[in-house]
A and B are shown apart, each in its own frame.
Chain A
Amino acid sequence: MPPLLHAHLRVPRRDFDVAVELDAGPQTVAIVGPSGSGKTTLLRAVAGLERPVDGEITVQGETWFRARPRTWTPPERRSVGLVFQQFALFPHMTVRQNVAFARGDDPDALLERLGVLHLADARPAAISGGERQRVALARALARRPRVLLLDEPMAALDPFTRQGVRRELAAVLRILALPTLLVTHDRDDLALADRVVTLEAGRVTQDGTLEQLASRPATPFVATLTAHAASPLGSSA
């Protein structure tokens, strides 16, 4: 059975090319790597916000990008749900209007599902970081995306909030069963992932479960990442 998401792409950066080949099924794949290793570039390329120079991106058999013969689907015609690091909620719209902007599912039903319906008439500036994260997730899910892209979705939250939000996100991801790429710097976020892909200088250096990575780290970065793997992931959150 072909993967739900197949991304094989090359995006030139100033210092190096981000050249990644990645397949994902209905699972959460954590993309981990040092700063500037190309994690966000990968996400942006799948979303159509970055144009690769080579490769192919297909989702459920539909080609969104192919270098030869040239195929390009603009971001608005791709079915992705992207949650930005700082959530990128529209400040001039209410929470409900933010979700309704996607012209997808009933905004109130989505807000209720994520426990923030009581904030529907508030503006993003008036709600907390954790609430913004839930609104951003509700908005990303409004168009029933075929791929979910989370760019460090917990980075803007304080450690205490992060813990609760991580639990809620884990539950949502389990229910959705979508190919999900989760870019993270936080080792505790790996508890959300079925698989971990490490990215260094634009190349995939290892791909597997955290246990597989911990048992045979391919690079010093992976060794450092998994050094604390003796304790169950997420327990330190």
Chain B
Amino acid sequence: MRHVFWVVAAVFLAAVLAFLMLPVAAIFLNVPPTEAYTSTVATDALWVTVKTSAIANLAFLVVGTPAAYVLATTRIPGRALLVTLCELPLVMPPAVAGIGLLAAFGRVGLLGEQIEALGLTIAFSEAAVVLAVAFVAGPLYLRGAVAAFAAVDRDCTEAARTLGAGPARVFARVAVPMAAGGLGTAWATAFARGVGEFGATIIFAGSLQGITQTLPLAVYSQLDADFDQALAIGALLILFAAAILITVRLIPACHRYFTRTSASRAATSTSP
């Protein structure tokens, strides 16, 4: 009876793997990712994706890291509500996120007049892609960063205060390095989510080649025009996602490995 269970479980596992891997294999069997470089649609989309992702990631790293530290370490009233509000975009359907951004920053949106008064147009521009990516991926980083800071030994940050360090120095010299592993993982996950962003971007930024068309949007645009190109861009995105996934798995392991290695090296050199 026990053998039967394991056989059935193994069959189910094989079925799961086959189901998950079949579309991936189908893409790579049809066309290699290098094919993507032969079309300007793909190279333009790659450049837009890299540029907008870099800006959006930089923005939520710079703004989100101190914000996450505040949420993780201070006893501000309504903290749970603030965390929930920050996480809301994570459960929001991407299309709703896109229309929300349009209603906020579009020409006839909530801040439309003020933005226009500054001589700026955000909707359907590269800036819109950046905002869309930051809106859907930023909260993912924020959530991971809050967890990473909450895990930092409070005694260490308090010890730093008693050693003469003000809040900014404690944050930069103690909290961030001690939370580095968790922050790295949170960033890699958010980065991958941002690169794959589709729904909010197409509604808020459109799909203009070389301006707002990112890799996922290029796959969609090429579906009718050149299916092989769509497959090649898809393959490129899969490679990218796999690299991120491996990074996410490697960051904590590397952190542990280097800490242990330097510790044992020091122990060897200091042992009497």
Contacts and interface: CB of A to CB of B under 8 A. Distances in A.
Which secondary structure dominates chain A's binding surface?
loop
A101 interface: yes
B270 A76 contact: no
Contacts of B265: 126
Q: What interface size band does chain A fall in?
A: 35 or more
B204 to A, nearest CB: 40
A122 B177 CA distance: 17
Given A90-B156, A122-B269, A126-B266, A143 B161 contact: no
A127 B266 CA distance: 8
Contacts, number: 92
Nearest to A47: B162
Contact of A125 (B160, B166, B173, B259): B259
Contact of B270 (A49, A85, A88, A119): A119
Interface in B244-272: 259-260, 262-267, 269-270
A140 B158 CA distance: 12
B116 interface: no
Contacts of B156: 88-91
Contact of B163 (A121, A123, A143): A143
A74 to B, nearest CB: 7
A27 interface: no
A48 interface: yes
B99 interface: no
13 contacts: A48-B161, A74-B161, A76-B162, A84-B155, A92-B177, A101-B165, A121-B270, A122-B266, A122-B269, A125-B259, A126-B267, A139-B159, A139-B163
Interface of A: 47-49, 74-78, 80-82, 84-86, 88-92, 94, 101-104, 118-119, 121-123, 125-127, 139-140, 142-143
Given A84-B158, A101-B173, A102-B164, 17 more contacts: A49-B161, A49-B162, A75-B161, A81-B162, A82-B158, A84-B159, A86-B153, A90-B159, A91-B156, A91-B178, A91-B259, A92-B180, A94-B266, A122-B266, A122-B267, A123-B262, A123-B263
